[in-house]
Structures are given as C-alpha cells and as structure tokens.
A = this chain, B = another copy of it.
C-alpha cells in the first residue's frame, strides 16, 4: 500500500496523525479487530479515541481502501487488501483467519445461479473449518 498520507489526500480526507496510524496498523496487521488496531495505534502515537479509530476504519471501508469482514460470532476484522475479490478461511476453534484466492478465477463468484432481480455487487465467501494446528490438537486427544 502507498503512503497513508497520499491515500487520504486522494480521497479528499484531512491528514491526521490518528488516521495515518490507523492505516499503518491495518496494513501491518491484517484481520485485526478494531480493538486490536486501537492498541497498535496507541503504541505508535500514544493515544487515540475509540471513536477516531472507528471513524477512520468506517470511512476507509466506504471508500474501498480497506475491507471490513464480519464473521459470525466475532467482531469485525479489517484488512488491507481490497477490491481483489479474495475470500477467507476461518478456523471454528481458534478463529484464525487466512486469505484464499477466489476458487473460480477473476471476479467469478459474482454470479449467482438466480439473482432474483437483484443487482449483485459483491460475493462474500467464508470457508469455515479447522486450521492445521487445531486439527493436530484434536488428533492428540
């Protein structure tokens, strides 16, 4: 990802230390919760309000700069990679989240068998399962 300040400028947003740090945190730590990102930001610039973090994440997600994923039973996660239609693999046991490229090609999943008249703009795919570590633990028992 480019310089945080450039990203903000390109979208007509004011450039603030908080926003820069949020962008850095997201790109440095993918699949993190707002809470975790807040801690990262605090480590970098000393202090931020919860609200500033949510605000920044919300705006960036709206602008398509970052992506928000909201897996069942978990707070929202944010990631750097956006707009490339990749998907996620989530461990039911430990919550580990991993990127997977789309199974079917470029922007493929945008085709439902019957769209019921909807105009579809995104296909969100979450593969649920058990990660290698948790499989190993389960096997040992």
Contacts and interface: CB of A to CB of B under 8 A. Distances in A.
Copy number of this protein in the oligomer?
A: 2
Contacts of A91: 118
B122 A101 contact: no
Contacts of A120: 89, 127-129
A67 B126 CA distance: 15
Interface stretch (A20-28, A37-45, A106-114): A106-114
The size bracket of the interface on A is 35 or more
B117 A122 contact: no
A15 to B, nearest CB: 28
A127 B131 contact: no
A36 interface: no
